[in-house]
Amino acid sequence: MFPSRFRYEAPSSLGEAVALLASHDDSKVLAGGQSLIPMMKLRFASPALLVDINNIPGLDQHGAQPDGSYRIGALVRHADLEKSTTLGEHQPTIAAAAPLIADPIVRTRGTFVGSVCHADPQGDWASCLVALDGSIVAHGPTGRRTIPVDDFVTGPFQTVLAPDEIAVEAVIGAASGSRKGGYLKLERRVGDFATVGVAVALEMSGSTVTKAGIGLTGVGSATINAREAADAIVGSSLGDDEIAVAAEAAAAASSPRSDHRGSADYKRHVVATFVGRLLAQHQPAEAEVA
C-alpha cells in the first residue's frame, strides 16, 4: 500500500517546526521514521503534514553533563548509542539494550526519543528510561517542559505530548552512587518484538543498593514500572533472598497475554528469571561464593 497524500516540510529551527505543527491539526514529526513510515504505508496513520526535524541542529548529541545528568537528543540514532565507547561507563542499562534494538538497518535510522514517543508496549527504550527514572523534554509554543517518563506515556501508542510540541531530548538524572544495570530480551528471531524484556538500573554505595528501578517490556498494555520489585532490593546487598523476592514481585507486576509467543505463565517465568539474572550479576563477591 501507499500512504495517503501529505504535505512535507523540513524546517531548520525548532521555532519553525513548532509553528508548522501549530498551523495544522493533523501533523506528525519525522525523526527516524522507522515506526511512522510503516504506519503511514499501511494507513494506520494519515497525517496531512509531515514535519521532518532532521535539519534542526543540536538534536543529535548525547552524553554526560557537568551536573551529572545524561542527555540524549531527539536525533540520536540507536546505532549512535550502540557504537558509543563511553556509554557503558555512564549508562550501563542503555548500553546493554542498544545492540538488541530491532535490527542493524532500523538501528541506523531509528531514534531513542522517537521510540519512547511511539509508546509501543513492546518498545525496549521506554523500559530502560522507566528503570532509570528518566524524563522527556518537550518544546512547544510556550517554551520547554520536562515530563517524567511515568507521566509521559498514557497508554498504548499514546503520550501527553501536545499536537504542537516536539520531544527534543531524554534526560536521566545524576546518580547518587555508582551506576549498575543491564537489559535482557527474549525474541523469536533477531529484529523481532520482545516476547519479554527486562531493564534493571541500580545505584550502589559499595555493595549496598541505594536506588533501584525495574522496567518491563512486552508484558502489559504499556511499559510496566515494577516499583515493588525495585523497592525490595533497596538497602540490601543483593543477597539471594532479596533477589528472589524482587524477581517474584516483578513477575507479579507483569500482565502478559497468552499468544503465539508463549503462555502468560511462561512470560511471567521469564520476567522472574531475567530479573534474577540481572541482579545476580551485581552481587558482591562474598554473596556469589555463598
215 and 114 belong to one structural domain: no
Q: Is residue 18 part of a domain?
A: yes
pLDDT at 289: 40
82 and 106 belong to one structural domain: yes
pLDDT at 284: 83
Q: Is residue 57 part of a domain?
A: no
**Residue 287 binned pLDDT confidence (cut-offs 50, 70, 90):** very low
**Over residues 78-84, mean pLDDT:** 98
Give yes or no for residue 290 having a pLDDT over 70: no
The amino acid at 9: E
DSSP-derived 3-state class of residue 146: strand
pLDDT at 75: 98
Pick the last residue of a domain from 131, 154, 172.
172
pLDDT tens-digit series, residues 144-162: 999 999 999 988 899 999 9
Cα 61 from chain centre: 17
pLDDT tens-digit series, residues 165-221: 999 999 999 999 999 999 999 998 877 889 999 999 999 999 999 999 999 999 999
pLDDT at 286: 58
Residues contacting residue 155 through CB under 8 Å, at least 6 positions apart = 119, 221, 222
Whole-structure pTM value = 0.93
Q: Is residue 290 part of a domain?
A: no
Pick the last residue of a domain from 152, 172, 192.
172
- Give the count of domains, the chain: 3
Q: Is residue 215 part of a domain?
A: yes
Pick the last residue of a domain from 128, 150, 172.
172
Give yes or no for residue 127 having a pLDDT over 50: yes
**Over residues 136-147, mean pLDDT:** 97
pLDDT at 285: 74
Give the CATH number of the domain where residue 30 resides: 3.30.43.10
Sign, Cα dihedral of 264, 270, 273, 276: negative
pLDDT tens-digit series, residues 43-68: 999 999 999 999 999 999 999 999 99
pLDDT tens-digit series, residues 90-115: 999 999 999 999 999 999 999 999 99
Domain that holds residue 201: 178-285
140 compared with 154, residue with greater pLDDT: 140
Q: Is residue 188 part of a domain?
A: yes
pLDDT tens-digit series, residues 239-268: 999 999 999 999 999 999 999 999 999 999
Sheet strands side by side (includes 27-30): 7-9, 49-52, 27-30
85 and 186 belong to one structural domain: no
Give yes or no for residue 133 having a pLDDT over 90: yes
Asked if 164 and 21 touch (Cβ cutoff 8 Å), the reply is yes
73, β-bridge pairs:
169
- Count of positions (residues) in the chain: 290
Rounded to the nearest 5°, which phi and psi values hold at 120? -75, 130
